[in-house]
Structure 1
Amino acid sequence: MTKYVVVSGGVISGIGKGIIASSTGLLLETLGLTVTAIKIDPYLNIDAGTLSPLDHGEVFVLDDGGEVDLDLGNYERYLELTLTRENNITTGKIYKALIERERRGDFLGKTVQVVPHLTNEIQDWIERVAKIPTSSSGRVPDVCIVELGGTVGDIESAPFVEAMRQFQFRVGPENFCLIHVSLLPVVGVVGEQKTKPTQASVRELRGLGLSPDILACRSSIPFEDGIREKLSMFSQVAESNIFSVHDCTSLYHVPILLKNQGMIEVLSSKLKINYPGISKSLKDEGDDLWAQWNEFARRKARNLDVVKIAVVGKYTHLIDSYISLVKALEHASLNCNRIVDILWVEGSDLEKSTLESDPLRYHDSWKKVCAADGILVPGGFGSRGVEGMILAARWAREHSVPYLGICLGFQVASIDFARSVCGLKTAHSSEFDPETKEPIVIFMPEIDPVTLGGTMRLGSRATKFTNDDFTLHSSIYKLYGSQEVIYERFRHRYEINPEFINVLEDNGLKFVGRDLETGTRMEVLQLEDHPYFVGTQYHPEYITRPLKPSPPFTGLILAASGQLKEHLNKL
């Protein structure tokens, strides 16, 4: 029977439940177990697709086109999973499913209530998804990690907490483990750790019918003397089951931190994990995974050379808006034996309007761009900052600075090239200037122009590299292992106008990758006679992995650190 590890949070939101959940899953995988994950988000939205990145962080896109919470990206990266939209539960999804059943008459005239109907719907959903074989192993998961979003005590989380209270009896105590993540603040001049917030959080959780089996206490420093004993006394959790999750060199060290404190032994005891029942081949795979993870984490702590990458975006005030991009840069740099230093630049700060209103910010932003070893322009929506992104792409092109443009960054690179090289002075995207006479970027004909949620071109799709001499010798083609067809994830409504392809290519901007279905949709570009100037309509950051970095990001880091030619010669 599948076993369940539920991760809840107390005191404050954003405490790191996703990292604790992902790290716990990784530790279980090192035993040879197959793990899957579910994220519960208590908001009423059907999915994360219409949420602003500045409000809720990055919208992560899955292979099946599901637009989900950024924590599912953590699960995929840590656990080598390919999840589906079913792995993200929202209040909106649950109520929608329940109301559809009520309209069909499934309840035979009964009054539909939060308890038991809504809570049963939640439990049934979790059990159904937990039994879907994973794409990597084809095996039904041994363990399902369930992250309960929000904070215990929130009104919107109440139905899910009640569902978990009932669920522990449905599956049995040996198949259910609750990890509660709480805050251990350090206050006062002497920096004393305070346990009262955690005590109150556990007390509230117990009042709702759930008793934590494990406490994971977030703090800036390790446990002080007597803290573990005090927490055990007032929370009724064994000392061996209370873990200090203090600030580390990097998030990649969190699994190591938990393992060193005995997390594997505690989980194995609580869930009655049968070591003899796990085959030797699976154990060997787990040992190999752990060895690779340790080596990767150690690289982060080494004194490696630094490579500076300027990220010119629209949501740089909240780094979680670009969390997958940050991870992709980290993965690529560490696998290239470099440490990445990300220089965050708001696109609008590079524009003349900022020079007039705030010259110090303007010059500081351009100083970052000019000092960078490489420039990256990520995706985004809306006109704010677009002209600044176009200027950043122009700087990279004219000064031979390695450049990677993703989605919108792919489009602005094409717009700049059309204006600066092809002589199309009014070239623009119809997204930002519907009246432009030279629409380099246009709305895709099959997309619904009215409805926002779930209507973009979403999910994993095939891109085919063109079979011409330039493409076959291009760096991006080689970085992908000279594969003719690749699969990456998309999230866009606009595309390069096919009517302008010939003039762009004739002047040196080559579209080396196109969609497999029609061959008319441009998906990868590379500039002639440039160290590394690449753009992708897809989002390669969505499928980056610590031990298998994304090729476009690897190329950017290699070019920015002067290693690209040597690397390509070895391929």
Structure 2
Amino acid sequence: MVKKYVLVSGGVISGIGKGIIASSTGLLLKTMGLKVTSIKIDPYLNIDAGTLSPLDHGEVFVLNDGGEVDLDLGNYERYLDVTLTRANNITTGKIYRDVIERERKGDYLGKTVQVVPHITDAIQDWVERVATIPVDDTGEEPDVCIIELGGTVGDIESAPFVEAMRQFQFRVGHENFALIHVSLVPTIGSVGEQKTKPTQASIRDLRGLGLTPDLIACRCEKTGLDEGIRAKISMFCHVQPSQVLAVRDCSSVYHVPELLKDQGMVDYLWKRLNIENTVTITPALKEKGADMWKKWNQLTTNQERLHKSDAVKIALVGKYTHLQDSYASVVKALEHATLALHKKLVILWIEASDLEPESRPVNPLKYHNAWRDLCSAQGILVTGGFGVRGTEGKIAAAKWAREHKIPYLGICLGLQIAVIEFARNVCGMPEAHSVELDESTTTPVVVYMPEISKTHLGGTLRVGSKISYFQEGTEGSTIRKLYGGGSEVLERHRHRYEVNPEMVDKLHAKGLQFVGKDETGQRMEIIEMADHPYFVGVQYHPELLTRPLKPSPPFTGLILAATGGLQQHLATL
């Protein structure tokens, strides 16, 4: 079977938007009836993203198979509506580990193991292997594989991968390999002059390493690219003007696919990869793709029509809020829910530690502003996280939501926070705490899961897709109705602490309902308060399965409750 590969590389600076452009490219090809998969290459030495701090690398995205990967794989899954595996995220650590293990077993027959050819061959083999893994319900191999090369061309860390891709273009053949290079065209000075030199230098470096771009995606400000600038890039970077794409700043990343399509990206790749003559597209997939594009256009059109009167304010209480990439999937889940309900999302970012008592914060003004935002929010979302910092602030947010009947959604640690708060202030357990946050607590309502390692952090969490079962007598549960009224729900987890099973009866007796549990009935998965407009906590991470056209039920419930439409919605189910 002929396989097409599209490599997306980046130049000038990191964080330029390669992930969105790679995802948008895949989406456009899928709307044409092609089956698409994606691979993200991360040049760091870590085996995976599991032990990386959100402040250092952004969100750790979790896959069905338990893979802890780069947040860009979340973009791929959301845009393409596919299910990826941990193998779709390649790191230097994974490649070197595999090569060294093969060397220890004697697979290289005594040869000196080197970066070229052994590391580069291992990278190419990995890409070809992963490109054949089915990613949807059809069980068929993908037609196209989008490969995003993390980092910036010229980085020492990415050199083996660039060399591997240089070789790979000849391994698979010219008409099966295309390269999109994402570069920055900055605007300098008060007159707003666009500069092409950074892009020229980036392309020169790329060509010097043996790769020539087919398309240059130029990130620029809202005005786009001047025609003179486009012509200049074309001349100095050895491409036609039609191969220079202006990727201007948009009001939403969901407009990027339309922006690329309008500039002829699909037409170019169709001819460049000779798709018409080498790939068989079934009428059913072509029709499905066309329907997908129609719905995507409707999504972006509806977003543009939203007004201030449609706004809904959601307080996002976390401990990494100054790096918003730490909550990328949570933000997407909120966006998807609000768009589906024709609402305009306004996120009030609240650093949890700023909510803690006034005697503690370094800056009292932050304390005042944090509480002002919390009090003005129509809904409160307490996110996951690790460590002690900000814990009491999150507990204060949960207490405010419970006492003042403000819609609340707690995710992972957010569920545990709600349980701690309820135990302290409703059940009369003032010392209630989590052993993660206070090992010496005399009232441990959240405990370490017995099967989890206490000596190794990487790869030891309860992680991946797990089933939660709604309990008998919960047919009237709000969250159960939002999930469709079934007896179980399949969501992705990532945690090493759980609600103490020995405390459940005491908490339940005071009104905290444990509506969802795992298969053993001992692990609490979903909590709910009946005498509240919407107070839900989930041990799993529902944001990881949200899609632009299929929003996550817990987030949908939060937005509905925050805008006063929950009961009307439930009546229609």
TM band (smaller chain): over 0.9
Q: Is this contact kept in 2: 1:429–1:442, CA < 8 A? A: yes
**How do 1:359-378 and structure 2 match up within 5 A?**
359-378=364-383
In structure 2, the gaps of 5 or more residues are none
Q: 2:241 is matched with which residue? A: 239
TM norm structure 1: 0.99
CA RMSD of aligned residues (A): 0.9
Q: 2:516 is matched with which residue? A: 513
Aligned equivalents of 1:379 and 1:208: distance in 2?
A: 42
CA distance 1:367–1:181, change in 2 (3 Å): same
Alpha-carbon deviation of 1:354? 5.9
Provide the secondary structure at the position in 2 that maps to 1:277. Answer: coil
Q: 2:504 is matched with which residue? A: 501
CA distance 1:356–1:57, change in 2 (3 Å): closer
Alpha-carbon deviation of 1:225? 2.6
- Give the residue type in structure 1 aligned to 2:264: G
Aligned equivalents of 1:491 and 1:279: distance in 2?
A: 38
Q: 2:182 is matched with which residue? A: 181
Aligned equivalents of 2:60 and 2:360: distance in 1?
A: 32
Q: Is this contact kept in 2: 1:182–1:216, CA < 8 A? A: yes
Aligned equivalents of 2:463 and 2:266: distance in 1?
A: 38
Q: 2:23 is matched with which residue? A: 22
Aligned mate of 1:266, from 256, 265, 268: 268
Alpha-carbon deviation of 1:356? 5.2
Aligned equivalents of 1:348 and 1:132: distance in 2?
A: 44
Aligned equivalents of 1:424 and 1:291: distance in 2?
A: 54
Alpha-carbon deviation of 1:301? 1.2
Say if 2:292 is the partner of 1:289. Answer: yes
- Give the residue type in structure 1 aligned to 2:236: F
Q: 1:307 is matched with which residue? A: 312
**How do 1:478-493 and structure 2 match up within 5 A?**
478-493=481-496
Q: 1:172 is matched with which residue? A: 173
Say if 2:550 is the partner of 1:545. Answer: no
Provide the secondary structure at the position in 1 that maps to 2:561. Answer: helix
Say if 2:305 is the partner of 1:298. Answer: no
**How do 1:41-52 and structure 2 match up within 5 A?**
41-52=42-53
Could you list the per-position Cα deviations for residues 199-236 of structure 1 after superposition, in whole angstroms to 9, with x for gaps in the alignment? 00000000000000110000013111311111110000
Aligned equivalents of 1:121 and 1:277: distance in 2?
A: 30
Could you list the per-position Cα deviations for residues 260-318 of structure 1 after superposition, in whole angstroms to 9, with x for gaps in the alignment? 11111000011001178322221111110000001111122112400000011010010
Could you list the per-position Cα deviations for residues 126-163 of structure 1 after superposition, in whole angstroms to 9, with x for gaps in the alignment? 00000112233211000000000000000000000000
- Give the residue type in structure 2 aligned to 1:343: L
Q: 1:398 is matched with which residue? A: 403
Q: Is this contact kept in 1: 2:306–2:342, CA < 8 A? A: no
TM norm structure 2: 0.98
Could you list the per-position Cα deviations for residues 247-269 of structure 1 after superposition, in whole angstroms to 9, with x for gaps in the alignment? 11200000000001111100001
Q: 1:250 is matched with which residue? A: 252
Alpha-carbon deviation of 1:239? 1.2
Say if 2:282 is the partner of 1:279. Answer: yes
Alpha-carbon deviation of 1:185? 0.3
**How do 1:528-543 and structure 2 match up within 5 A?**
528-543=530-545
**How do 1:359-508 and structure 2 match up within 5 A?**
359-468=364-473, 471-508=474-511
Count of residues in correspondence between the two structures: 568
- Give the residue type in structure 2 aligned to 1:445: P
- Give the residue type in structure 2 aligned to 1:260: D
**How do 1:154-173 and structure 2 match up within 5 A?**
154-173=155-174
Q: Is this contact kept in 2: 1:165–1:210, CA < 8 A? A: yes
Aligned equivalents of 1:200 and 1:523: distance in 2?
A: 52
Q: 1:146 is matched with which residue? A: 147
Provide the secondary structure at the position in 1 that maps to 2:96. Answer: helix
Alpha-carbon deviation of 1:435? 1.0
Alpha-carbon deviation of 1:355? 5.3
Provide the secondary structure at the position in 2 that maps to 1:257. Answer: helix
- Give the residue type in structure 2 aligned to 1:510: Q
Say if 2:351 is the partner of 1:350. Answer: no
